[in-house]
Structure 1
Amino acid sequence: MDAGKRLSKIMPEGGKIIVCTSPFERTTQTLLGLYGGGLNQENVECVHVDPQIREQEFGNFQDPGLTSKVRAEEQRVGRFYYRRPNAESSADVFDRVTQFWDKLFEDNGRGLLTEGGVKYDMCLMVTHGLTIRLMLMCLFKWSVETFASVWNLGNCEHITLKKNAHEHKYEICIEESYPPRMPWATREAWIVFAHIKAPQEMVERLAALKEAQKALMDEACREEALRIDKAIDSMENKILRERSEPYTVINYLAIPQPRTMQIDGVLSRLVPGHGHAGKTPEALEKLVAAPDETDIEFIDWWGDNLSYQGKMLRLNRTATIHATRSSRSQSRNHSRSPTEATETDDPDDL
C-alpha cells in the first residue's frame, strides 16, 4: 500500500502508464497492492505480462541432499554462470532481460513503448529483486563483479529511471527512488599494507621455488616447470593474503566510474572486515574507518578468484587502478612502465 502512495506522487498527472509485469502470482499481488495504495488505475493504458522478466528459475525441485555438492560446484564455476539442476544461471536471465529491453525500445512503432502509436508517460515494471539487478546490469553495462556487489531491493522498494535527453540514455533518479539513494552495493576487497610482512618460512619457501624454477630453465622438463610455476603463483598469493586485511567498500555504486580508480571515493567508504550482509546500510555507514593511506601498497579486488600473475598483469597495465596515490610514483618508475588507464582496461572498474 505504501508503495502505491509513493508511486502516485511521482506519476505524471493525467499521464498514460504502461505496466510490464512478471507472470508470477506474487507480482500480480504486488500490482493489485499498488492500485489499492493509490496508484491511479485509470491512467494505466496497458498491462503487459512478460515471462522474460520473471524470476530466475532455480530448478523444478531441490534435493536437500545435493545442497553441499551444488554449492561447491557453484563456487568453482562462478555464481553468475552456474546452472543448478533444471535451472537457469544469472547469465541466462541476463540474456532474456536484454531481449526484453530490446523489445521495449524497438523503433519503427514496433516496441512496447511505441506500439499502436500510443505515447506513454511512464513505464512501471513489477518484477523481482534479482531480475531488477540483471536489468540494471544490462542497461548500465555493469561487470559481473559490480553486479555481484549490488543488493536486491527490499519488498516494494523501487528504482526510478529517467531519460537524459541530451545524452540519450537513462539514469537513476535518486530523488524519486525509494529509498532515495543509488542501489545499495558493497564490494569486498583485501588491502595489502606496507608494514605487514609475510612469515619468514613463506618467504624462504618462495625463494626455494624460484631457485628450482631457474634450474629447470635449460632442461626439457615441461611438466615439472608448470608444476613449479603453479606452486610459485600459489605461494605469492598466500604471501599477499598474509600481508593484507579484509575490508568492504560500502555504497559502491555511488563511486563514479571507473570505480576502482577513484581512490578518494574508495577510501572514504571502507569498513573493516568481510561478511556484512546482515547489517543495514545505516549500520554500515557508522562503521566506516579508512586506514592510513600512506601505508597501503595496493588494493586486491579479487582475493582467491584470480591468480597472482593475473593480479600483477592488471596492476602493471593500469597502475592507477590499484595503486593509491602514495604508491603511484613508485609504480610509474617501475621497469614495466604502466600505461594510462581507460574505463575499459579492466571490467572490474565498471
Structure 2
Amino acid sequence: MARPRRIVLVRHGESQGNVDDTVYEREPDHALALTERGLAQARATGARLRELFGDERVSVYVSPYRRTHDTLGAFDLDPERVRIREEPRLREQDWGNWQDREDVRLQKAYRDAYGHFFYRFAQGESGADVYDRVGSFLESLHRSFEAEDSPPNVLLVTHGLTMRLFCMRWFHWSVAEFESLANPGNGEMRVLERGEDGRYTLDKPFERWREPEPYGATGQPPGKPAGWPAG
C-alpha cells in the first residue's frame, strides 16, 4: 500500500455567509460565493500549496459547494499534476434548506449547550452524522492508496467542521477532545505528514477554545491527542 507522504486539509476562503448571515435566507448554503477577501485568502494558500507540492502529483478531493470549488480554482495548481474529484461526503454540515436567521441563532445556542457533536439541527445533521460520512469517505480514500499510481500528496478542499471531524476520525480523538477544538480560519490549512515510522502527525494543532471536559469511563480529561505536533 503506497500511502501518501502528506494529506493536506484546507478550509474554503471567506464566503458571503461568513460576513452576512442573512444571506442564508435568500441563497442556498451550497451556492454561496467567496468574497474578495476570500479569494485573496485562497490565492495566498495556493501559493503555499504550490511550494509544498513542487513538481509532485496531487490527488484532490473537493466538496461540491461553490465556495470550495472557487477556493480550489484560486489555488492555480498545475492541471498536469493534479487529479480532481468532487466528493459530496466532504460537504458542509447540512442545516436544512433555506434558513431563518433567528431560528438558526436559537438552534446554535441550543447546540452550544447540548454539544456540537451530538446536537442535530431540526432539518439537518448532527456533527455525529458528518463524522459518519467522513468515515465512509476515509474507507474510499484508503482503497485509493492501493493503486500503483497513487500520488504522494492528497489535498482535501472542504469546511472547518469537516476538517476537525476528519482529524478526529483519523487520529481516533475522543468526543470531548473534538468539543474543545475550534475551527481553523478561512483559507487555513492543516497538513498530516507521514513520519519514518509510517505514522501521521499534524503540522499544527487546532486552537482550543476550552480544555476538554472530564468524560467517559476514566473520568479524566484526555491529554494531548494523538497526531499533534511535539512540544
Same fold (TM over 0.5): yes
In structure 2, what is the equivalent of residue 96 of structure 1? Answer: 133
Residue 78 of structure 1: CA displacement?
3.0
Which runs of 5 or more structure 1 residues have no equivalent in the other structure?
106-110, 174-180, 189-259, 261-300, 307-313, 315-343
Change in Cα spacing, 1:72 to 1:158, as seen in structure 2 (3 Å) is closer
Q: Distance in 2 between matches of 1:62 and 1:87?
A: 11
Q: Distance in 1 between matches of 2:78 and 2:220?
A: 42
In structure 2, what is the equivalent of residue 3 of structure 1? Answer: 45
Residue 133 of structure 1: CA displacement?
0.7
In structure 2, what is the equivalent of residue 50 of structure 1? Answer: 87
Change in Cα spacing, 1:72 to 1:121, as seen in structure 2 (3 Å) is closer
Residue 59 of structure 1: CA displacement?
1.3
In structure 2, what is the equivalent of residue 130 of structure 1? Answer: 161
Change in Cα spacing, 1:68 to 1:128, as seen in structure 2 (3 Å) is closer
Q: Distance in 2 between matches of 1:162 and 1:77?
A: 34
In structure 2, what is the equivalent of residue 84 of structure 1? Answer: 121
State the structure with more CA Rg.
Answer: 1
In structure 1, what is the equivalent of residue 96 of structure 2? Answer: 59
Which runs of 5 or more structure 2 residues have no equivalent in the other structure?
1-42, 226-231
- One-letter amino acid matched to 1:33: A
How many residue pairs match? The answer is: 181
Between Structure 1 and Structure 2, the one with more helix by share is: 1
Change in Cα spacing, 1:119 to 1:348, as seen in structure 2 (3 Å) is same
Query: What pairs up with 1:1-350 in 2 under 5 angstroms?
Result: 1-11=43-53, 13-35=54-76, 39-44=77-82, 46-64=83-101, 66-67=103-104, 70-71=107-108, 73-74=110-111, 77-105=114-142, 111-115=143-147, 117-166=148-197, 168-173=198-203, 181-188=204-211, 301=213, 345-346=218-219, 348-349=221-222, 350=225
- What's the TM-score once normalised by structure 2's chain length? 0.69
The DSSP-based 3-state class of the residue aligned with 2:154 is strand
Which gives a bigger RCO, structure 1 or 2 (Cα 8 Å, sep 6+)? 2
Q: For each residue in 1:43-73, what CA deviation from the matched residue of structure 2 results, as whole angstroms up to 9, or x when unmatched?
A: 11x2111111111001113234645763565
RMSD, aligned α-carbons = 2.5
- What's the TM-score once normalised by structure 1's chain length? 0.47
The DSSP-based 3-state class of the residue aligned with 2:183 is coil
The DSSP-based 3-state class of the residue aligned with 2:189 is coil
